[in-house]
């Protein structure tokens, strides 16, 4: 894995008979992608569907780590000095909170920081 992998919930999902919805936590990360479109070249962005299991995440982080959004750090990536501390599962480092993802993107890719 040469690039960081960002997984977001595809907007317009339904939950049982309710919806359509968008993910309150994926939306701020999507906002960063729209403010800084160059990130789409630097990070692989994947949109997943609402129902579980979310097999792409299960394969990489295990069944306990299917919440979205999530950013899996590229295996050889050195973290910037002021980057947040990642979680880890199955030998991979990742962020699973939208704030940590936004902070990481800002510090790692030298972007303005969220306030």
DSSP states of 67-96: -SSEEEPPTTPPPPTTPPPPEEETTEEEE-
- pTM greater than 0.85: yes
For residue 81, pLDDT over 90 is answered with: no
Q: How far apart are the first and last CA of the chain?
A: 30
For residue 1, pLDDT over 90 is answered with: no
Please give the average per-residue pLDDT across 78-102, as a whole number: 93
Q: What is the mean pLDDT of the chain?
A: 95
Amino acid 80: pLDDT: 85
């Amino acid at each position: 894995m040469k690039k960081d992998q960002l997984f977001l919930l595809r907007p317009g999902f339904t939950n049982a008979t309710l919806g359509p919805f968008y993910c309150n936590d994926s939306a701020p990360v999507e906002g960063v992608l729209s403010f800084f479109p160059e990130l789409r070249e630097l990070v692989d962005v994947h949109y997943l569907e609402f129902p579980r299991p979310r097999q792409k995440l299960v394969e990489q982080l295990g069944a306990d780590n299917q919440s979205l959004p999530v950013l899996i750090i590229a295996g050889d990536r050195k973290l910037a000095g002021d980057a947040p501390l990642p979680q880890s599962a199955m030998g991979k480092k990742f962020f699973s909170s939208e704030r940590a993802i936004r902070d990481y993107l800002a510090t790692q890719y030298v972007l303005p920081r969220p306030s």
